[in-house]
Amino acid sequence: MHEKGFNNTGLQEILREAGIAKGSFYFYFKNKEDFGLQVVDAFFTHFADFAHQYFNDDSLSHVMRIKNFFNEFLDFFVNGDYKGGCPIGNFTLEMADVNDKFREQLLLIVDKSTSLVADQILLAQNKGEISNLDNPHSLAEFIFFTWEGMIMQMKLSRNTIALEQFNYHIFQNLLYKTEKTR
Amino acid sequence: MHEKGFNNTGLQEILREAGIAKGSFYFYFKNKEDFGLQVVDAFFTHFADFAHQYFNDDSLSHVMRIKNFFNEFLDFFVNGDYKGGCPIGNFTLEMADVNDKFREQLLLIVDKSTSLVADQILLAQNKGEISNLDNPHSLAEFIFFTWEGMIMQMKLSRNTIALEQFNYHIFQNLLYKTEKTR
């Protein structure tokens, strides 16, 4: 589903891969749509657990915690031959225009995810690591979706050049931009 | 196809919308895949025509030409209820992992598209509008895929807030970042 898309993956295929019977599936999920929505939820739980590990590392600056968090996905991408990418991005481009339940669920998950990053940005601002000119949540959203754009480039080129550009522009330039001038 | 995706749009639907017979379709296209690949090509022609209009406007700085070019899409998005987005981005997330013909075609089109933007960046650098520290093509690619990420956010939120963030971070901050410090 991660590679082929939601619509393009049949329920039979999901049951076969998971090794469960149809009856069991319908005990837990109303239908395939309900299953997809719960996949989105489950991904957020995974994302949040992962974020907390990085964001609670008191030995590093808050900017470095954010940077390390995003960069942790690199190994995963390289090991997966640059396929798959981010389930949130994939679901968004496939479903947001045609299914409001998915759009609303994804919007909620993105808001929760970017809030975790925004908390770190606010701490970085309060501790004087970076400029406090930008709204932390807007900045977190910009960083999150810039990352999604870079993942798109990675899927085309099958390399991590765009993700390195992300590190350079976001962490070397953008976050520190007014640091040098104030 | 733009809203529902390539796999999720049947050939019958395409024929009906276009008002042409199956035989006529197969006179011009080998199959649906060939049609999809030619849609990607046709979109680039449209993109390039559009870019040339903006990039040849000698009354403006090169940075303003790039900014105006990207912002011209806003009206189109607003009028389309924020649906559709960018065909290149949609095709990429749907097809790049599962179909190498699409991936290679998309990679080629993105390279041509970003080269047009890179030409303007190089001119802006040579004329001293912006810093010349960054490689024009890398910077153009970063801008292009950041834009793709913002379109993703727009599809979720159905507003242009992310596209305004793009203007702010790319055109007010990133392109001028070293201008202030050199």
Chain A: give the shortest CA distance to residue B177, in Å. Answer: 6
Cβ of B4 within 8 Å of Cβ of A150? The answer is no
Structure tokens belonging to residue A130: 């970076």
Burial class (CB in 10 A: 0-12, 13-18, 19+), B94: buried
Q: What are the backbone dihedrals phi and psi of residue A61, each rounded to the nearest 5 degrees, phi first? A: -65, 160
Q: Which among A103, A138, A181 has CB closest to B181?
A: A181
pTM of the model: 0.95
Q: Which among B8, B94, B169 has CB closest to A142?
A: B169
Instruction: For residue B155, list chain A residues with Cβ-Cβ distance below 8 A.
Output: 92-93, 96-97, 103
Cβ of A92 within 8 Å of Cβ of B173? The answer is no
User: Among residues of chain A, what percentage have pLDDT more than 70?
Assistant: 97
Residues contacting B128, CB < 8 A, separation 6+: none
Intra-chain end-to-end CA distance of chain B, in Å: 48
Q: What is the largest CA-CA distance in chain B?
A: 64
| Model pLDDT, residue A177 | 59
Cβ of B145 within 8 Å of Cβ of A153? The answer is yes
Q: What are the backbone dihedrals phi and psi of residue B45, each rounded to the nearest 5 degrees, phi first? A: -55, -45
Contact by Cβ (8 Å): B162, B146: no
Instruction: For residue A98, list chain B residues with Cβ-Cβ distance below 8 A.
Output: 3-4
Cβ of B141 within 8 Å of Cβ of A149? The answer is no
Report the alpha-carbon distance of residue B152 to residue A144 in Å, rounded. Answer: 11
**Domains, chain A:** 32-176 (1.10.357.10)
Residues contacting A41, CB < 8 A, separation 6+: A105, A109
Angle separating helix axes B136-157 and B87-95, nearest 10 degrees: 90
Report the alpha-carbon distance of residue B112 to residue B109 in Å, rounded. Answer: 5
Contact by Cβ (8 Å): A93, B83: no
Per-residue pLDDT tens, chain B, 182 aa: give them: 888 899 999 999 999 999 999 999 999 999 999 999 999 999 999 999 999 999 999 999 999 999 999 999 999 999 999 999 999 999 999 999 999 999 999 999 999 999 999 999 999 999 999 999 899 999 999 999 999 999 999 999 999 999 999 999 999 888 875 544 43
| Model pLDDT, residue A176 | 75
Q: Which residue has the tokens 């522009």?
A: A169
A114 vs B: CB within 8 A:
no
Chain B residues 124-153 within an 8 A CB cutoff of chain A? 138, 141-142, 145-150, 152-153
Chain B nearest-CA residue for A106: B156
Q: Which among B145, B146, B156 has CB closest to A107?
A: B156
Q: What are the backbone dihedrals phi and psi of residue A74, each rounded to the nearest 5 degrees, phi first? A: -60, -50
Residues contacting A96, CB < 8 A, separation 6+: A102, A103, A106, B155, B156
| Model pLDDT, residue A180 | 43
Report the alpha-carbon distance of residue A47 to residue B128 in Å, rounded. Answer: 43
Structure tokens belonging to residue A34: 């309900």
* Tens of pLDDT, residues A100-130: 999 999 999 999 999 999 999 999 999 999 9
Report the alpha-carbon distance of residue B171 to residue B154 in Å, rounded. Answer: 19
Q: Which among A85, A156, A173 has CB closest to B174?
A: A173
Q: Which among A106, A157, A165 has CB closest to B142?
A: A165
Chain A residues 40-79 within an 8 A CB cutoff of chain B? none
Cβ of B96 within 8 Å of Cβ of A174? The answer is no
Contact by Cβ (8 Å): B149, A145: yes
* Tens of pLDDT, residues B21-60: 999 999 999 999 999 999 999 999 999 999 999 999 999 9
Instruction: For residue B7, list chain A residues with Cβ-Cβ distance below 8 A.
Output: 5, 7-8
Chain B nearest-CA residue for A80: B97
Residues contacting B149, CB < 8 A, separation 6+: A145, A146, A147, A148, A149, A150, A152, B162
